[in-house]
A and B are shown apart, each in its own frame.
Chain A
Amino acid sequence: MKREKSRKYRLLQALRILSQWFFFGLFLYLFTRTRFTGSDVIGPVERFFHFDPLLAIVATAAGRAFFAAFVWAGATVLLTLVLGRVVCGWVCPLGSLHQFFSFLFKKAKLHRPKAASAGPLKWKYVILIFILTGSLLGLNLAGWLDPLSFLYRSFATAVFPALGHATKGFLSLLYALGLSGPAGTVGQRFESLTVNPVYLQGFFLGLLFLAAILLNLVRERFWCRVLCPAGALLGLLSVGNVFKLKIDRNKCIDCGLCNLQCQTQASPFPDEEWKRAECVYCFTCAAVCPTAAIGFPSRDVARREKRVSLDRRKILWTPIAALAALPFFRIAPSGRRAAASLIRPPGARPEPEFLSTCVKCGECMKVCPTGGLQPVLTAAGPEGLWTPRLVPRIGYCEYYCSLCSQVCPTGAIKELSVEEKLTVKIGTAWVDKNRCLPYALGEPCIVCEEHCPTSPKAIRLVEHSALLPDGTVSAQMAPVVDVSACIGCGICENKCPVVDRPAIYVTSVGEHRSETNRLLLDI
Chain B
Amino acid sequence: MKRRDFMRDLALGGLALSAARPAAFSLPAADAPPDLAWIEGESPAALTRAAVDALGGMRSFVGRGDVVCVKPNIGWDRTPEMAACTNPEVVRALVEMSFEAGAKTVIVTDHSTNQASRTFLRSGIQAAAKQAGAKVLLPSSFRMKKMSLKGEWFKEWEVFLDVHEADKIINVPIAKHHSLTRVTLGMKNWMGGIGGARNQLHQRIHEAVIDLARFFNPPLTVLDAWRVLVRNGPQGGRASDTELRKTVVAGRDWLAVDAAGATFFGLKPAELPFLALAAERKLGRLDWEKLRIEKRKV
Contact = CB atoms under 8 A, between A and B. Distances in A.
Interface of A: 36, 38, 171-172, 175, 183-184, 187-188, 190-192, 194, 369-370, 398-401, 437, 443-447, 449-451, 453-457, 461, 477, 495-497, 499
8 contacts: A184-B143, A191-B140, A450-B180, A450-B235, A451-B113, A455-B236, A455-B238, A456-B232
Given A184-B140, A446-B180, A477-B180, 10 more contacts: A36-B117, A172-B142, A184-B143, A188-B137, A190-B140, A369-B115, A370-B115, A398-B114, A444-B202, A457-B232
Given A450-B178, A450-B179, A38 B121 contact: yes
A461 B180 CA distance: 10
B199 A495 contact: yes
Contacts of A496: 199
**Nearest 9 pairs between A and B by C-beta?**
A455-B237, A497-B199, A191-B138, A497-B200, A446-B180, A455-B238, A447-B199, A187-B140, A455-B232
A496 B205 CA distance: 16
A1 to B, nearest CB: 65
A79 to B, nearest CB: 39
Contact of B179 (A192, A443, A461): A461
Query: Which among A36, A183, A191, A192 has the greatest number of chain B C-beta atoms within 10 A?
Result: A191
A191 B114 contact: no
A481 to B, nearest CB: 15
A36 B241 CA distance: 27
Given A192-B138, A455-B237, A444 B199 contact: no
Contacts of B220: none
Contacts of A188: 137-138, 140
Interface of B: 77, 113-118, 121-122, 137-140, 142-143, 178-180, 197, 199-200, 202-203, 205, 232-238, 241
Contacts of A191: 116-117, 138-140
A315 B200 CA distance: 63
Contacts of A456: 232
Given A38-B121, A194-B115, A175 B142 contact: yes
Contacts of A451: 113, 235
B202 A36 contact: no
A450 B233 CA distance: 7
A497 B202 contact: yes
Contacts of A437: 203
B142 A171 contact: yes
Nearest to A39: B121
Contacts of A183: 142
Contacts of B235: 450-451, 453
Nearest to B136: A188
A50 B112 CA distance: 37
Nearest to A495: B199
Contacts of B137: 184, 188
Contact of B241 (A172, A190, A450, A455): A455
A400 B203 contact: no
Contacts of B116: 191
A398 B203 contact: no
Contacts of A457: 232
A166 B226 CA distance: 45
A297 to B, nearest CB: 55
A187 B205 CA distance: 31
A31 to B, nearest CB: 18
Given A400-B122, A455-B232, A457-B232, A444 B237 contact: no
A171 B141 CA distance: 11
Contact of A497 (B122, B140, B142, B197): B197
Nearest to B234: A450
A444 B233 CA distance: 17
A191 B121 CA distance: 14
A497 B180 CA distance: 15
Contacts of B179: 446, 449-450, 461, 477
A449 B233 CA distance: 9
A446 B115 CA distance: 20
Contacts of A370: 115
A491 to B, nearest CB: 8
